[in-house]
Structure 1
Amino acid sequence: MYKQMKLKATDGLDLHLHIWDEVKNPVGVVQIVHGMAEHGARYGLFAERLNQAGYIVVADDHRGFGKSAIDEASLGHLDGETGFKNMVEDEVVVRTYLKETYPGLPYFIFAHSMGSFIIRTFMAKHQVDGVILSGSGLQPIALLKMGQMITKQRVKKDDRKRSGFLNKLAFWGYNKPFNENHRFSWLSRDVAIYEAYEQDPFCGPVVGTSGFFHNLFEAVKVSQQKETLESVPKDLPVLLLSGSDDPVGHFGKDTPKIALSLEKAGVEDVTYKIYEDARHELVNEICKETVFQDVIDWLDEKRR
């Protein structure tokens, strides 16, 4: 059964939750942490497959996205000073709810893209039975600092101002390798997916504010810091997934680098898989059923 509910964040914001819990004998819980300019409801098919394998699934809409945005003006916006910190704390609130609602079940996280940067910080501080990072990436620290210098000035003036310039900068060149002549073809080889994304009012039309982009740069920067990596529990199972044609992960190059950085920090159970020719949204790719099964197999192995 699919249902929706509200959950209070620590600052009083109503976080919107999507819940798929039609599971007779559950073997675990999976918390989905979505990416930028999207929302939890897009993971319905993936959640149904996980349900069939015995996993209860819950996904929140991040603050500033989906139905957690309190109005149209809040879509794509994060507070310039506390946005990233609040996003991490929101996932802690969801974790607490899941632990209390489904006690005793193994607890996993599947985090995609921007969500992966949030969870790469989250998992350094909070206990999880396993983490799957999909569509993650790395950026040069110098580039991130430059981005924050630009956004800091804009945040001081008006952190709610939409920034077409920063939006273009964030996705610069993503479509260049592809022939479909569509601005979202980098998401998937499935035409129906990127056309639906463009029309979804919670996705394609959303342009982030200066406050959002300032926090995005912060999220990526913190996720890569040595202190963050060294704080990840050494026994945490981590699975990294990416497509060989995913521009966010620099076309498959970043995933093994992230795996190596975790291993160098002492994390003992790190594996990764690159899906040939797949693009950014693996759970919406033409190879999605293979991805679903790979995730289920990994979850089944780690929950025992």
Structure 2
Amino acid sequence: MALQEITFTSANNRDTIQAWVYEPVVPARAVVQVVHGLGEHSRRYLHLVSTLLDAGFVVVADDHAGHGRTAMESGVWADAGEDAARVVVADTLTLQDEARARLGDRASGLPWVVYGHSWGSMIARGLLPRAASGAGAPVAGLVLGGIAAQMHGIEQVVDRAALAELSAGDHAADPAPMELVGQLFDGFLERYEPGAGPTAWVALDADVVADHARDPFNNFGAPLSARFLQGFVDLYDRVNGDDWYAGVPAALPVLVLAGDQDPVTNYGEGAYHVANRLVASGHPDVRTRVFTGVRHEVHNEPTTRAEVEREIVDFVDRVVARTSTRPGGTSA
């Protein structure tokens, strides 16, 4: 494996984004961009990264503004600056350009697949209109894990008027009131055992939950700024709205992965909802897997990790085969 570190200035003009390009020892067949979720960082995907490298894929990943090593460097956690919805999508597109420049001829003609988990699934969906307009890399395949859809707190509980007032005020960069943050995660523990810890929704496996909690690059408990919370809601609304489905290229292959005990995806129903809406809006190439008995991080759960990785590798293999059959071998 060859590893390159990339840094670039965030669209918020404050942070220096920390990113990495992992290259397989064999000639690469595709590029997979991993887009991590809320309150975590990209090295939590190293098991998946290793599997993708073994399959002959380049992997590109970063730690978003307010997260992971990027936040370690800036000292600012859980805040992405003004208009966070725009910033995180713009930074993800910039990484594509930076990675392609670093890879040079080694990336020429390779299909680019984006895998986004949780908040990352929102960022990944947010890329598509920009990619279609020529920004970043042409997206040849989209994988959405732990997909944020039909979230009860955002759709039915969050006091949007109060949040909008706070995020537009002089203290927008200050921590949002815990009441508002709690509304975002409303009902996350309702279906679990009595006494379940506050992050029990992350995984069924207790060791995965414990690892998530003790990882200093996670810092999931860092207070979300009001403007970050507003940006999270804004991006959620955008990628779950009617216009998003209309903007997805009709021929784009999509893979949706979730657990049926995951409140982020409405216990699996959100995954089916997104897949069904894609098909109904003229996107026939959609595959959905909802895994029984597991929670949010299906890619980390010991009982589903291997199968999830197999789904992703098979999906990218199919994108590679599909791309190679087109004139010139270029992606959509």
Aligned pairs, how many? 302
Alignment match, 1:149: 161
Q: TM-score, normalised to structure 2's length?
A: 0.85
Contact 1:28 1:55 in 2 (8 A): yes
Alignment match, 2:114: 109
Contact 1:242 1:252 in 2 (8 A): yes
Deviations 1:41-68 (A, max 9, x none): 1111110011111111111111111122
The correspondence for 1:62, drawn from 55, 61, 64, is 64
- Structure 1 SS opposite 2:46: helix
- Cα offset for 1:157? 3.8
1:289 & 1:105 partners in 2: Cα distance? 25
Indicate how the Cα distance of structure 1 residues 144 and 96 shifts in structure 2: closer, same or farther if over 3 A, else same: farther
Alignment match, 1:135: 146
- Cα offset for 1:273? 0.8
Contact 2:12 2:81 in 1 (8 A): no
Q: Does 1:284 align with 2:300?
A: yes
The correspondence for 1:185, drawn from 173, 178, 200, is 200
| Alignment of structure 1 residues 130-279 onto 2, 5 Å | 130-136=141-147, 137-139=149-151, 143=155, 147-155=159-167, 156-163=169-176, 164-179=178-193, 181-203=196-218, 204-279=220-295
Alignment match, 1:24: 26
- Structure 2 SS opposite 1:123: helix
Deviations 1:161-220 (A, max 9, x none): 223223222222212322262221111122121112112233233221111110011011
- Cα offset for 1:225? 1.8
Instruction: Tell me the C-alpha RMSD between the 2 structures.
Output: 2.1
Unaligned runs of 5+ in 1: none
- Cα offset for 1:79? 2.5
1:50 & 1:264 partners in 2: Cα distance? 31
2:170 & 2:289 partners in 1: Cα distance? 43
Q: TM-score, normalised to structure 1's length?
A: 0.92
Indicate how the Cα distance of structure 1 residues 165 and 200 shifts in structure 2: closer, same or farther if over 3 A, else same: farther
- Cα offset for 1:3? 4.8
Deviations 1:193-252 (A, max 9, x none): 111211223323322111111001101100122222101111111111111111111111
| Over 6 Å off, 4+ runs | none
- Structure 2 SS opposite 1:284: coil
1:261 & 1:124 partners in 2: Cα distance? 17
